[in-house]
Chain A
Amino acid sequence: MNNRNLVKGLFLVAISLAFGLGSLRYPFGSFARAGPGLFPLLVSSLLFLVGTALVVRALLSERIPIAFNPRNIALILTSLIGFALISERLNMIAGIVFMVFCAAFAGTSYSILRNLKIAGVLLVVAFAFQKFLGLQLPLY
């Protein structure tokens, strides 16, 4: 399975199936009076064809391994989700501080002092946005 082109093709086929099968739930209409289901079905069929072609081509050509590093993307995603959830439950100041401290683990080095400085500057920027640009940030 560790073949980039094969996974790419299968990934696209999966997307096309998700949208294509979903479109069957909507009224189809006729070509002259297209319903909401017709166009997504056509587009996902086309995508299915393209995805299949990519799968076939991948099986015919050489394998290229995927370079996938789950650590960094997981850290970044966690910090963003944390930002959204904490901002909703508590306030955005806490959200920003959490984001900086969590995302920093993905960097090449970790320093609490540096994180505090970054978070401080970003909070000042956030307050400036709120005051001068009129953005409605639920900071506290």
Chain B
Amino acid sequence: MDILHNLAFGFEHALTLHNLMFCALGCVVGTLVGLLPGLGPLATISLLLPLTYSIPVSGALIMLAGIYYGAQYGDSVSAITMRIPHASSIVACIDGYQLTLKGRTGLALFTAGVSSFIGGTVAIVVLAALAPALGEVALLFGPADYCALMMLGFVCVSFVTTGSLLSGLAMCLVGVLLGQIGTDVNSGMQRYTLGLPFLVDGIGLVSIALGCFGIAEITKNLDSHEDRSPFKGKIHLIPTWAEFKRIIPSALRGSVVGSFLGILPGGGPVIAQFAAYAFDKKVSKYKHEIGSGAIEGVAGQAAADEAAARTSFIPLMSIGIPENAVMALMMAAFIIKGIQPGPNMIAGHPDLFWGLVASMWVGNCFLLILNVPMVRYWLSVFKIPYNVLFPAILFFICIGTYSVNNSLEDVLVTTGFGLVGYLFSRLDLDPPPLILGFILGPMLEENFRRALLLSRGSFGIFVTRPISGTLIALIGILIAWQIAVFFLQSQKARAVPERSA
């Protein structure tokens, strides 16, 4: 009953006229920007972050969350209609685009919309039930445990996003090092500022995110010279009852898979989609159709995507540790607004927490009733040629960076990170772990120093405490497993040419 009471309290806050407006605005703008080629959720959120500065706290958070899932929906639309994958919608390209080829775009979009709604609803129940409980567990965490948890997050994120543990881990570490730039909180000493006054406060997150995800992506698109033909097909949204019945079981399966995977460190929408898709391929009644344009192939992954996007808020809001790059960005937004996410957030700001949870469901409704029927108008975004679009995106990047501190030097920093981000992409290094490392770096250092202070300089504290000991053991297992896989693969690779010779 507690949950119902709390949710009702949350809806009281989410359903005020102002917050409804911010939620709708976030969803619409998020969808719109998410549709643009080369702008995934990470770039969308960092681009639109400055818009929320002048908005009151609860409205700003609600709007940001709206931008996030709006961007995700926009992503899946571009994946289904034109097979433009962003990191967050790779799976939607498979069956969704097959359905488009069959002329069933409307069905695919409707399925994605409804499944997202189902996934979101399930995830909100999980979120409301689990976050407060996990928050109490988090109170048991000491500095050493926080350190171990963050390092586990690094390992998991590197593993999930790049598939190559070493490259991902390297990006996390580069992020941590970038986070070192600026004034050291403990000693007041300036580190790596090169004597430049605008580096004393450290590098802005928006600069890094827009450099690596905005500028680098635009340049990558320009390099590839692909003129994508806009979608011109007809869209017939309403499915038959038989088709509708096929959506539900698959979406429910996806919701459960997604909710679970969203909570784990390093988890989130991307891995949830793959897992749900694979799961449906195993157990669905129509598994022989999946891959060639089946409703299940769209429904399961869309529900998992949305569910994981919601439940990945759980570690952020209950423990205070973001588990992936998007959540790291959310955390930065929370902190800019003067809210420290963590065990004390639920108790200290119940109106914010429950308001945000409730607004997620409201946002879900907006996506369903606002964006799904309007999807054909959204698609006209693609009629704008890229030659017109990219100067406009550059403009928004400039204005977005500038308005964080009203500083043109920040624009130069962003430009620098554009170059770095482009180098990263050409060297096959994925920037999302870098963002996570950048946000977690200062926290990691703080907790690391505190843990060693408590143990008087002995590293044993990381192993002897039950929580951190377990987490460190998990890290060890993951790394050992990766090394084993690497050696087995290289042995196999060596064995094959020998046999052929």
- List chain A positions with a Cβ less than 8 A from chain B: 4-5, 7-8, 11-12, 15-16, 19, 22-23, 26-27, 30-36, 38-40, 43-44, 46-47, 50-51, 53-54, 57, 60, 66-69, 72-73, 76-77, 79-81, 83-84, 87-88, 96, 99-100, 103-104, 106-109, 114-115, 118, 121-122, 125-126, 129, 133-137
Contacts and interface: CB of A to CB of B under 8 A. Distances in A.
Contact of A31 (B222, B388, B423, B457): B457
B180 A40 contact: yes
Given A19-B180, A47-B170, A134-B54, A108 B215 contact: no
A126 B408 contact: no
A93 B465 CA distance: 59
B51 interface: yes
A81 B223 CA distance: 20
Nearest to A54: B166
A134 B399 CA distance: 12
A100 B389 CA distance: 11
A76 B408 contact: no
A121 B423 CA distance: 32
Contacts of A15: 174, 177
Contacts of A35: 187
A29 B95 CA distance: 57
Contacts of B227: 108
Contacts, number: 179
Given A76-B215, A114-B387, A4 B392 contact: no
B281 interface: no
B10 to A, nearest CB: 28
Interface in B420-446: 422-423, 426-429, 441, 445
B177 A72 contact: no
Nearest to B158: A50
A125 B170 CA distance: 40
Contacts of A67: 223, 426
A40 to B, nearest CB: 5
Nearest to A102: B391
B284 interface: no
Contacts of A115: 391
Interface in B369-399: 386-388, 390-392, 394-395, 397-399
Given A81-B415, A99-B395, A54 B408 contact: no
Interface string B173-202: 110110010001011010110000000000
A118 B415 contact: no
Given A4-B427, A40-B180, A47-B177, A103 B386 contact: no
B464 interface: no
B167 interface: yes
Interface stretch (B14-22, B233-241, B245-253, B448-456): B448-456
B436 to A, nearest CB: 14
B336 interface: no
B206 to A, nearest CB: 14
A54 B170 CA distance: 10
A24 to B, nearest CB: 12
A38 B459 CA distance: 14
Contacts of A121: 392
Nearest to B427: A8
B8 interface: no
B419 interface: yes
Contacts of A72: 219, 222-223
B225 interface: yes
B406 A136 contact: yes
Given A32-B457, A69-B223, A118-B392, 8 more contacts: A11-B423, A39-B180, A39-B449, A50-B166, A80-B215, A80-B418, A99-B395, A108-B225
A12 B453 contact: no
A87 B180 CA distance: 30
The CB with the most chain B CB atoms within 10 A, among A32, A80, A100, A135, is that of A80
B449 A34 contact: yes
Contacts of B173: 16, 43-44, 46-47, 50
Q: Which 4 A-B pairs have the closest CB atoms?
A: A32-B457, A31-B457, A107-B387, A36-B184
Nearest to A34: B449
Interface string B54-67: 10000000000000
Contacts of A81: 412, 415
Contacts of B419: 73, 77
A103 B391 contact: yes
Contacts of A135: 50, 399, 403
Interface in B20-63: 50-51, 54
Contact of A114 (B388, B415, B457): B388
28 contacts: A8-B429, A11-B423, A11-B427, A22-B192, A26-B184, A30-B457, A32-B452, A33-B453, A46-B173, A67-B426, A69-B223, A73-B419, A76-B218, A77-B418, A80-B412, A84-B398, A87-B408, A96-B395, A99-B394, A99-B395, A104-B391, A108-B225, A108-B386, A114-B387, A121-B392, A122-B391, A133-B51, A135-B50
A21 B424 CA distance: 22
Given A80-B418, A99-B391, A36 B186 contact: yes
